[in-house]
Amino acid sequence: MPELPEVETLRRELNKLLKLDSKTPVKFTAIEFKRADLRNKIPKAKLINLIGHNLYPIQRRAKYLLFPTSAGTLLNHLGMTGNWRELKDREDFKNHDHAVIEFNNKVKLVYNDPRRFGIIDFVIPQKENESLWLKHLGAEPLSKEFNAEYFFAKIKKRVAPIKNIIMDQKIVVGVGNIYASEVLFKCHIHPLHIANKLSFKKVIMLVDAINTILKKAIDSGGTTIKDFRTVGGEKGYFVQKLKVYGRKGSSCHRCHKPIQAKKISGRSTYWCPYCQKK
DNA sequence: CTGAAGACCTGCCTGC
DNA sequence: TGCAGGCAGGTCTTCA
């Protein structure tokens, strides 16, 4: 489900719903887990200790959501199918609802994740960057750190297809399988182009395209192919703006030739064979 | 070290 | 209608 724009959309929605930007503190009043594990074993005792503590505004690092409190941080990754929604009064639980959090402002959040590739973990206060989940992550794509010089240096010795490289979270975070195809289409680069054979000029275009596409996707509330919903149940509308992903056989918006699809390193990849040359 | 493939899970869609 | 097979937005582990 979620790449950076979907996680960022969810983060903003959650902060808005919980009114975390206001002066009034928001406290955890109940935390409940309906199973012992997702992709990891859930450290229930440590997380239940957060009850009574104030929640600060929710942060994002890469595709991870961070719920910071003075007593530690609840870390969450959505995997492929994870999602948070508001549990309304008298609303029943659904299949695959795994965690419930209640706050003193009466808001109840439910974490649902059918495939259970998600993560819920506890991170020691002030030591977020030392967490095993976060410590090897590369640059945030919307930060100044992620520029053409940085990216060019990182790919200098990499002989893998560029598509794999822009999805490598050790280099740049947040780009997943959908946006990787979209970004490469935008700058006319073939997904199988070997990373270290890209010119610096192409790298400038690539860095710019990653920036632009992720920002536009955030502005559209993310991409809903199947599962992704905002906290209120809304779909993301960037799917209507996808140029190649999921469009096998349809005509290219630039040259009107059919879009091609193939698995690259096990992931479905879409591109225009005429607009994107190796 | 790098790169590719396998593994982890459930649900949905297609085709026989 | 039923069932097998393939597919899905992620990433850690294993193997060459």
Strand partners, A103: A28
Q: Provide, in whole angstroms, the distance separating residue A209's CA from nucleotide C13's C1'.
A: 32
Q: What percent of chain A has pLDDT over 70?
A: 100
Give me chain A's average pLDDT, please: 95
Least confident of A26-40, A97-111, A147-161, A232-246: A232-246
pLDDT of residue A229: 80
A228 has pLDDT over 80: no
| Rounded average pLDDT over A250-271 | 96
Q: What percent of chain A has pLDDT over 90?
A: 87
Q: Provide, in whole angstroms, the distance separating residue A193's CA from nucleotide B2's C1'.
A: 17
Q: Provide, in whole angstroms, the distance separating residue A266's CA from nucleotide C7's C1'.
A: 11
pLDDT digits (tens, 9 = 90+) for A16-56: 999 998 888 899 999 999 999 999 999 999 999 999 999 99
- How does A31-55 read in b/e, with b if 16+ C-beta sit within 10 Å? bebeeeebbeebbeeebebbeeeeb
pLDDT of residue A226: 80
Strand C closer than 7 Å to the CB of A6? yes
| Rounded average pLDDT over A88-105 | 95
pLDDT digits (tens, 9 = 90+) for A183-201: 999 999 999 999 999 999 9
pLDDT digits (tens, 9 = 90+) for A62-74: 999 999 998 999 9
| Rounded average pLDDT over A214-223 | 93
The C-alpha atoms of residue A199 and residue A187 are separated, in whole angstroms, by: 12
A63, A154, A229, A247: the catalytic one is: A63
- Is A248 catalytic? The answer is no
pLDDT of residue A148: 98
- Is A63 catalytic? The answer is yes
| Rounded average pLDDT over A123-136 | 92
Which chain C nucleotides are covered by protein, judged by CB under 7 A? Answer: 7-12
Location of structure tokens 């040259």: A255
A3, A6, A8, A13: the catalytic one is: A3
A1 has pLDDT over 70: no
Strand partners, A121: A75
| Cβ-based contacts (< 7 Å) between A 130-159 and strand C | 133, 136
| Rounded average pLDDT over A216-232 | 85
Q: Provide, in whole angstroms, the distance separating residue A38's CA from nucleotide B5's C1'.
A: 23
DSSP character string of A25-73: -EEEEEEEESSSBSSSB--HHHHHTTTTSEEPPPEEETTEEEEEETTEE
**In this structure, what token pair is assigned to residue A91?**
């609303």
The helix (H) or strand (E) run that includes residue A206 is: helix A200-219
Strand C closer than 7 Å to the CB of A8? no
The half-sphere exposure of A10 on its side-chain side, counting CA atoms within 13 A, is: 30
Q: Provide, in whole angstroms, the distance separating residue A168's CA from nucleotide C13's C1'.
A: 16
R_g of chain A, CA atoms, integer Å: 20
Which chain B nucleotides are covered by protein, judged by CB under 7 A? Answer: 2-11
Banded model confidence at residue A253, pLDDT cuts 50, 70, 90: very high
- Is A39 catalytic? The answer is no
Contact by Cβ (8 Å): A95, A119: no
pTM of the model: 0.97
